[in-house]
């Protein structure tokens, strides 16, 4: 690995203790002291800053302290939802530093004191408050502006933020040569170069530092990172600079230790990780997808495009807890072997990249296709001060461009999110389902569009929370009998009809999965053989690892007739069978056979830890049928027709007097399918590497075994 140290700290910003005064000499130049009745010669726009400087706190504001003199620039006029700017007249940079006092909300790009040169923001500082409570105290800070000496600049204070801590306080801006001691509050480093990755040292639980990536003067990503500022990294997170090769790239980091060498621990690399054996950690799932580094949650943008299955997902590449939501990206030829690519969407000034979906625009209704190639369109929620629905597009499935006229659907209520887009063939239009909390009621709003860019509200339905999905399925495989299914994050669903505008349920709300830790599942669009393939976030905790959480198995969904009406079934996709290495059995068993009463039929499975098991049985006179697999306890109660997995019980009816079960066991848990898929129990839990046994038993009675298979599986990981 190339570990050439990052060099040349170009710009710095430093802070002093909260109540320290900025002292300056007779040669220092005051740029703004805000001591007059008006802001003159500064220019104000909007209503946030009022008609003149504030005398400390404004109406409904906590006590403001730490400002200089009697007044300050305070954007709380009208409360947190007011917006505006305050701009200085042009001035020449004649000193080494610009010092100031600053406080208020921490909203980089939205609440900032900015230094602007030739129309570009070259430096920016924000407040420190991003949680309820906090303090309105101003803190002193300064910029190192030596490399800008002789240039003409302006200062701009912006308030484009709404909601809690949606304001900024600034005072006493001075040009000076002296550099006060204290914490470095911001450092900027030029990271342009040939090596495509920065490896950022992470210490889990360390104070978060805001990293802003600016390319050719534009912010392309902003993340809060638990930076290891000493030589105590738990792991290294890669930052991929490849998409901007050859461009002017700056990385800005706020509030570092007094030793600016903290940035020297960020290293350049031609490889995305420092470990020679990626995906080799002891708690790494072997055929459930997990990201190489960082946190993972909701699957996003599940689609088949250009001969590959694409799995996007909520990803924090710089931490093992939720945050910094990117869209991670992986591709697979077969739903089993996944190759992780770089992140596709990055947090920016519009907010974090929340969940959404993807479609192939086969008819190029959007106009984004070119050279006869249909575009792949991603729909996501930009979760900033407002929550809006946006799109990005690609014609190669690798590089994505955010639509210049985003958002395509504006905020309805704060927190509306998770756009799921489908093509509705009967009405020849696109349909978007979006979660909206309206008047304290969870709703799904449906919009329609001819071109994916212009959307019209059509209808709403109540009772579903987050991550909607909408699809049509044949009942019992009969294409002449189709029904629509509406589901959401919990996997609860309703069956009904959909005319392109409104969903009309024909069933009550029905349970989806019957286990634990399965959430925000999404179905793949454009699957070539027409199957409805479903994959969910599997909440598998991996403490001590540089990654966290995983995806469920890919599942095939079908609708079947039951005495209670049409119901969904969940079964593992057939492609998983290619992982089979060898089959284990009990010897020369002829089927059917009776399982001996009170005795256990067991196998030793010492050489591997990955298994698939299939069994078909009928109760006979047995009361309970029990399976033990690598420490997992599975029991079927014949009287109650319940399946019990590690103490968790769920209804699993006999079908035709028999029970057919499939189990998949990985290092991070167990997924159990029963009643021909009507009962699906995901059960996360890290397997004990010392527990390798398998057994079938019945304490009372003799169930009749009609079929049994135990397959040892190989890893699906690309090492």
Closest CA to 704 of 692, 696, 716: 696
User: What's the DSSP call for residue 55?
Assistant: S
Residue 393 to residue 374: CA distance in whole angstroms:
10
Residue 719 has a CB neighbour count (10 Å cut-off) of 7
The token pair that represents 676 in the structure block: 């021909």
Of residues 298, 361, 418, 609, which has the active-site annotation? 298
**Alpha-carbon gap, residue 450 to 361, rounded angstroms:** 11
Strands 417-424 and 469-475: unpaired
Give me Rg for the CA atoms of the chain. 29
b (16+ CB within 10 A) / e for 569-589: bbbbbebbeebeeeebeeeee
Cα–Cα distance for residue pair 85/110, rounded to 1 Å: 11
Label residue 270 exposed, middle or buried (CB < 10 Å: 0-12, 13-18, 19+): exposed
Q: Residue 279 burial (CB < 10 Å; 0-12/13-18/19+)?
A: middle
Q: b/e per residue, 640-659, with b = 16+ CB within 10 A?
A: ebbbbbbeeebebebeeeeb
For residue 37, is it left (φ>0), alpha (ψ between -120 and 50) or beta? alpha
> 41 preceded by cis ω (within 30°)?
yes
Half-sphere exposure of 682 (CA within 13 A, CB side): 27
ω into 520 cis (within 30 of 0): no
From the number of C-beta atoms within 10 Å of its C-beta (0-12, 13-18, 19+), residue 477 rates as: exposed
The residue with tokens 């001969």 is 307
Instruction: Give the C-alpha separation, 121 to 113, whole Å.
Output: 10
- Spatial distance between the Cα atoms of 107 and 125, rounded to a whole number of angstroms: 9
End-to-end CA distance of the chain: 17
Cα 423 from Cα 435, distance rounded (Å): 18
Q: How far is CA 77 from the centre of its chain?
A: 35
- Is 298 an annotated catalytic residue? yes
Which residues have C-beta within 8 Å of that of residue 88, sequence separation ≥ 6?
31, 32, 41, 42, 154, 155, 156
CB atoms within 10 A of CB 261: 12
The DSSP code for 288 is: S
Nearest to 469 by CA among 286, 603, 302, 332: 302
Helix (H) or strand (E) holding 491: none
What distance in Å separates the CA atoms of residue 564 and residue 567, rounded to the nearest whole number? 8
Phi, psi of 505 (to 5 degrees): -70, 145
Strands, E assignment, 320-360? 326-332, 339-345, 352-360
> Cβ atoms within 10 A of the Cβ of 429, count?
17
Q: Do residues 97 and 179 touch, judged by C-beta distance below 8 A?
A: yes
The catalytic residues are 298
């Amino acid at each position: 690995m190339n570990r050439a140290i990052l060099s040349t700290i170009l710009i710095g910003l430093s802070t002093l203790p909260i109540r320290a005064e900025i002292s300056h000499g007779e040669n220092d130049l005051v740029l703004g002291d805000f001591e007059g009745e008006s802001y003159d010669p500064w220019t104000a726009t909007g209503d946030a800053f009022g008609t003149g400087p504030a005398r400390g706190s404004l109406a409904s504001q906590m006590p403001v302290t730490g400002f200089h003199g009697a007044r300050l620039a305070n954007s709380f006029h009208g409360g947190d939802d007011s917006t505006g700017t305050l701009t200085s007249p042009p001035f020449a940079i004649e000193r080494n530093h610009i010092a100031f006092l600053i406080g208020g909300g921490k909203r980089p790009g939205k609440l900032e004191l900015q230094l602007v040169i030739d129309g570009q923001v070259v430096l920016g500082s924000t407040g420190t408050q991003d949680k309820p409570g906090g303090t309105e105290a101003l803190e002193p800070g300064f910029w190192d502006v030596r490399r800008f000496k002789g240039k003409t600049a302006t200062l701009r204070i912006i308030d484009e933020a709404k909601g809690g801590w949606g304001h900024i306080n600034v005072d006493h801006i001075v040009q000076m040569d002296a550099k006060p001691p204290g914490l470095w509050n911001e450092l900027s480093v030029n990271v342009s170069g040939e090596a495509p990755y920065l490896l950022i040292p992470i210490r889990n639980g360390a104070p978060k530092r805001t990293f802003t990536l600016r390319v050719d003067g534009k912010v392309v990503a902003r993340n809060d990172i638990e930076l290891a500022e000493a030589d105590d990294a738990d792991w290294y997170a890669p930052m991929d600079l490849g998409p901007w090769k050859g461009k002017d790239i700056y990385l800005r980091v706020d509030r570092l230790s007094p030793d600016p060498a903290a940035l020297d621990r960020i290293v350049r690399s031609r490889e995305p990780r420092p470990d020679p054996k990626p995906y080799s950690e002891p708690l790494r799932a072997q055929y459930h997808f997990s990201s190489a580094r960082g946190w993972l949650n909701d699957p996003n943008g599940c689609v088949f495009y250009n001969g590959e299955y694409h799995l996007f997902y909520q990803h924090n590449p710089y931490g093992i807890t939720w945050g910094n939501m990117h869209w991670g990206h992986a591709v697979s030829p077969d739903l089993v072997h996944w190759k992780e690519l770089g992140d596709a969407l990055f947090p920016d000034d519009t907010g974090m990249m929340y969940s959404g979906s993807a479609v192939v625009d086969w008819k190029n209704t959007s106009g984004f296709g070119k050279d006869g190639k249909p575009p792949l369109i991603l729909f996501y929620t930009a979760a900033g001060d407002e929550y809006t629905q946006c799109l990005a597009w690609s014609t190669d499935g690798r590089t994505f461009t955010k639509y210049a006229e985003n958002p395509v659907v504006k905020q309805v209520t704060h927190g509306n999110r998770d756009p799921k887009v489908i093509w509705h063939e009967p009405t020849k239009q696109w349909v978007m389902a979006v979660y909206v909390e309206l008047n304290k009621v969870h709703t799904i709003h449906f919009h329609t569009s001819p071109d994916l860019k212009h959307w019209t509200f059509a209808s709403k339905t109540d009772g579903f929370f987050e991550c909607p999905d909408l699809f049509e399925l044949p009942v019992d495989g009969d294409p002449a009998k189709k029904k629509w299914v509406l589901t959401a994050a919990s996997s609860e669903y309703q069956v009904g009809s959909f005319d392109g505008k409104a969903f009309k349920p024909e069933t009550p709300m029905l349970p989806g999965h019957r286990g634990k830790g399965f959430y925000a599942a999404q179905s793949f669009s454009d699957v070539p053989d027409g199957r409805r393939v479903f994959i969910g976030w599997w909440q598998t905790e991996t403490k001590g690892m540089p990654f966290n959480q995983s995806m469920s198995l890919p599942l095939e969904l079908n609708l079947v007739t039951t005495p209670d009406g049409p119901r969904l079934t969940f079964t593992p996709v057939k492609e998983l069978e290619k992982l089979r290495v060898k089959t284990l059995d009990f010897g020369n068993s002829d089927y059917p056979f009776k399982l001996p009463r009170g005795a256990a039929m067991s196998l030793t499975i010492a050489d591997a830890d990955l298994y698939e098991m299939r069994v078909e049985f009928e109760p006979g006179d047995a009361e309970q049928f029990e399976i033990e697999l690598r420490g997992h306890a599975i029991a079927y109660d014949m009287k109650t027709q319940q399946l019990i997995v590690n103490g968790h019980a769920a209804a699993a009816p006999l079908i035709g007097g028999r029970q057919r079960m499939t189990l998949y066991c990985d290092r991070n848990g167990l997924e159990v399918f029963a009643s021909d898929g009507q009962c699906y129990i995901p059960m996360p839990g890290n397997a004990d590497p010392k527990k390798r046994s398998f057994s079938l038993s019945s304490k009372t009675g003799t169930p009749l075994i009609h079929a049994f298979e135990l397959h040892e599986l190989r890893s699906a990981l690309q090492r």
